[in-house]
Structure 1
Amino acid sequence: METDSLEVVNLWATHHDSRSVVAPILLDIGELTTCFSSFDICHVVRSANGPAHICAKHACTIDRTDSWLDNTPGFLVSAMLADCPANTFNQ
């Protein structure tokens, strides 16, 4: 898994021995990862993680929980298309 949060990477590396608010989430992720032969959380620079950054920015602007069960929001489709190298147009 890639994240632009170095704090999350460091918490994962220290086996979540923290009183951080994300520690319970990391414990849940740890339980889910037992299904995989290997799992790690890696740091990437924010510019290399555009769609995730856009989702985080969107989450900070809303005051409720959004669920996208039947449709994908336009901002996410645009971010994914912009991030996909196959969509680079040669001029």
Structure 2
Amino acid sequence: METNSLEVLNLWATRHDSRSVVAPILLDIEELTTSFPSFDICHVVRSTNGPAHICAKHACTIERTDSWLDNTPRFLVSSLLADCPANTFNQ
């Protein structure tokens, strides 16, 4: 998993000794990761994580939960197309 948050990365690294309010969530995530052959969290700079940043920015602007079951929102398609040099995502 990639994150542009060094705080998340540091919390993950110290999840067993952490008194943070998110520690139980991280331990739950750790339990879920046992079903994968391997799992790691690494840091990436925000500029290389464009679509994730755009999704997070969008989430901060809405007052309700969005779910996209039948169609992909336009802002997400645009960011994925811009992030993929070969444009392998079809609209």
Which bracket does the TM-score occupy, shorter chain normalised? 0.7 to 0.9
Select between 18-27 and 64-73 the one with higher mean Cα deviation. Answer: 18-27
Q: Is the contact between residue 16 and residue 26 of structure 1 (CA under 8 Å) also seen in structure 2?
A: no
Letter in 2 for 1:54: I
CA RMSD of aligned residues (A): 1.4
Residue of structure 1 in register with 2:20 after alignment: 20
Residue of structure 1 in register with 2:56 after alignment: 56
Q: TM-score normalised to the size of structure 2?
A: 0.86
Residue of structure 2 in register with 1:37 after alignment: 37
What displacement does 1:42 show?
0.4
User: Which aligned segments of 4 or more residues in structure 1 are displaced greater than 2 angstroms?
Assistant: 15-25
Q: Percent identity?
A: 87
Q: TM-score normalised to the size of structure 1?
A: 0.86
CA distance in structure 2 between the aligned counterparts of 1:74 and 1:10, rounded to whole angstroms: 33
Select between 6-15 and 20-29 the one with higher mean Cα deviation. Answer: 20-29
Three-state SS of the structure 2 residue aligned to 1:86 is coil
Three-state SS of the structure 2 residue aligned to 1:39 is coil
Q: Is the contact between residue 11 and residue 17 of structure 1 (CA under 8 Å) also seen in structure 2?
A: no
What displacement does 1:41 show?
0.5
Q: Is the contact between residue 51 and residue 76 of structure 1 (CA under 8 Å) also seen in structure 2?
A: yes
Letter in 2 for 1:58: H
Q: Is the contact between residue 51 and residue 79 of structure 1 (CA under 8 Å) also seen in structure 2?
A: yes
What displacement does 1:68 show?
0.7
Q: Which runs of 5+ in 2 are unaligned?
A: none
Q: Is the contact between residue 12 and residue 26 of structure 2 (CA under 8 Å) also seen in structure 1?
A: yes
